[in-house]
Amino acid sequence: MRFIDEVEIRVVSGDGGPGAISFRHEKYVDLGGPDGGDGGRGGSVFLAVDPGLNTLAGFRGQRLYQAERGQRGGKRQMTGRSGKDLVLRVPQGTLVYDAGSGALLADLAAVDARVEIARGGQGGRGNMRFTTSTNQAPRRADPGGPGEAFELRLELKLLADVGVLGFPNAGKSTLVARISAARPRIADYPFTTLTPSLGVVDRGDEGSWVVADVPGLIEGASHGAGLGHRFLRHVQRTRLLLHLVRVLPEGASTPLDRYRILRAELEAYDPALAQRPELVALSQIDTVPPDEVAVLQAAFRAAGVPQVYAISAVTGQGLKPLLDAIWQRLQVPE
Neighbours of 235 (CB within 10 A): 24
Strands (E), the chain: 6-12, 45-49, 64-66, 86-90, 94-98, 104-108, 114-118, 149-156, 162-165, 197-202, 208-213, 240-246, 278-283, 308-310
What does pLDDT average to over the chain? Answer: 85
Packing angle of the helix pair 255-269, 290-302 (nearest 10 deg) = 40
Q: Does the pLDDT value for residue 158 go beyond 60?
A: yes
Q: Does the pLDDT value for residue 226 go beyond 50?
A: no
Query: Please, which pLDDT band fits residue 249 given cuts at 50, 70 and 90?
Result: confident
For residue 22, the SS3 value is coil
Q: Which of 43-57, 215-229, 299-313 has the lowest mean pLDDT?
A: 215-229
pLDDT above 70 as % of the chain: 87
What's the CATH code of the domain at 198? 3.40.50.300
Q: Does the pLDDT value for residue 23 go beyond 50?
A: yes
For residue 166, the SS3 value is coil
The tally of domains found in the chain comes to 2
Q: Are residues 104 and 203 in the same domain?
A: no
What's the CATH code of the domain at 84? 2.70.210.12
Q: Are residues 129 and 145 in the same domain?
A: yes
pLDDT at 196: 65
Neighbours of 103 (CB within 10 A): 9
Contact 49, 113 (CB under 8 A): yes
- As a whole number of angstroms, the distance between CA 86 and CA 27 comes to 43
Task: For residue 316, give its domain range.
Answer: 162-330
How many Å separate Cα 232 from the centre of its chain?
Answer: 13
Q: Are residues 174 and 151 in the same domain?
A: no
User: Looking at residues 140-168, what average pLDDT do you find?
Assistant: 89
Q: Are residues 121 and 238 in the same domain?
A: no
Query: Please, which pLDDT band fits residue 47 given cuts at 50, 70 and 90?
Result: very high
